[in-house]
Structure 1
Amino acid sequence: MTWVDFWALIATLDGVATEESCRRLAEQLSRRSVPDIIGFAERQAEALYRLDQEKFGTLPVVDLAARYDSPFPQSADVFLYTRCAVVAAGQAVWESVFFDVDKFAPYTSSECDGEWLLYVPDKAYKLTTCKEWDHSTRYCFESYSNRDGWPDLRD
């Protein structure tokens, strides 16, 4: 799957990864071939991996920082779901955060949970094949897996 195809599919989310919008995306993706579903998963994992950087992961959770009058760090899960929200916001937002970290910050809000995006390939695959998803992507999208993005974590 090309990046153009990936971002066109992401655009169907209308900027947010809700349960409903991700269900619709999974249904749309399920009408494509299995290689396309795998390709979507690969692009999604790479997009999340590229966002796995210290400059984003060390930003505080916006609404909690204000509530507690001090920075409230993102957990590994919150950071992953925040990266999903940035991807769901679309190509323009995803690209812009690399040039301006302040454009990433609003997505750390608890209102911007993009977790549902993670399950789109699994659901699409199951709808297409009636089998459980059993595919590992080239890029690991778990938080702190991008060693180049976290120089202090390098071995």
Structure 2
Amino acid sequence: MDDNTFWQLIDACRPAGPDPDGHGLAAALTDRLGKGPVYAVVGFAEQLSWALYRLDRREYGEALSGDGFLYTRAAVVAAGRAEYEDVLRDPRRFTPYADGLVWAEALLYVPDDAYEHLTGEEWHRRTRYSFESYSNAAGWADAR
């Protein structure tokens, strides 16, 4: 799955109304990806981890707990490509997500749930990039 396809899928599955915890988006994505093929689930997982990894930087998460930072980054992704790219360009745009503790934890489980739906097996996955908080060493390096 390429970057454009990933963001088109996010946009196509995002509910029209409020979705404060991301469960509506997660359910729609899981349903769509759960219809297969497996490589689409793998591609989605890779793109999601890359998007979250890119937001794993000191200027966004210095004051947040590890889990809070991860779930807040997921909320930025859930907001769609335009908002995500705006946040990457201007870290101050991350503040409303962090201040309001807008979380989208459910988005993180979409690949696992879709894979299990397709195969009947639990997915012990690894992605190229870790989305865990503070895993982007370059993003947390001291600016000198």
| TM-score, scaled to structure 1 | 0.84
- What pairs with 1:59-74 in structure 2 (closer than 5 Å)? 73-74=63-64
Mapped partners of 1:21, 1:109: distance in 2 = 22
Taking only aligned residues, the RMSD between alpha carbons, in angstroms, comes to: 1.5
Mapped partners of 2:28, 2:61: distance in 1 = 29
Residues 38 and 115 in structure 2, CA contact (< 8 A), matched pair in contact too: yes
Aligned residues: 138
Residues 33 and 114 in structure 2, CA contact (< 8 A), matched pair in contact too: yes
Mapped partners of 1:130, 1:88: distance in 2 = 26
Mapped partners of 1:40, 1:99: distance in 2 = 23
Choose which of 131, 141, 144 in structure 2 pairs with 1:151. Answer: 141
Q: State whether structure 2 residue 9 is matched by structure 1 residue 9.
A: yes
Q: CA deviation at 1:94?
A: 0.7
The 4+ residue runs of structure 1 with deviation greater than 4 A are: none
Match of 1:114 in 2: 104
Mapped partners of 2:99, 2:41: distance in 1 = 30
| TM-score, scaled to structure 2 | 0.90
Choose which of 26, 29, 54 in structure 1 pairs with 2:30. Answer: 26
Choose which of 127, 132, 144 in structure 2 pairs with 1:142. Answer: 132
Aligned partner letter, 1:28: R
Residues 22 and 78 in structure 2, CA contact (< 8 A), matched pair in contact too: no
- Flag structure 1 segments of 5+ consecutive residues without an equivalent: 59-72
Q: Matched residues, percent identical?
A: 46
Larger Rg belongs to: 1
Mapped partners of 1:118, 1:109: distance in 2 = 21
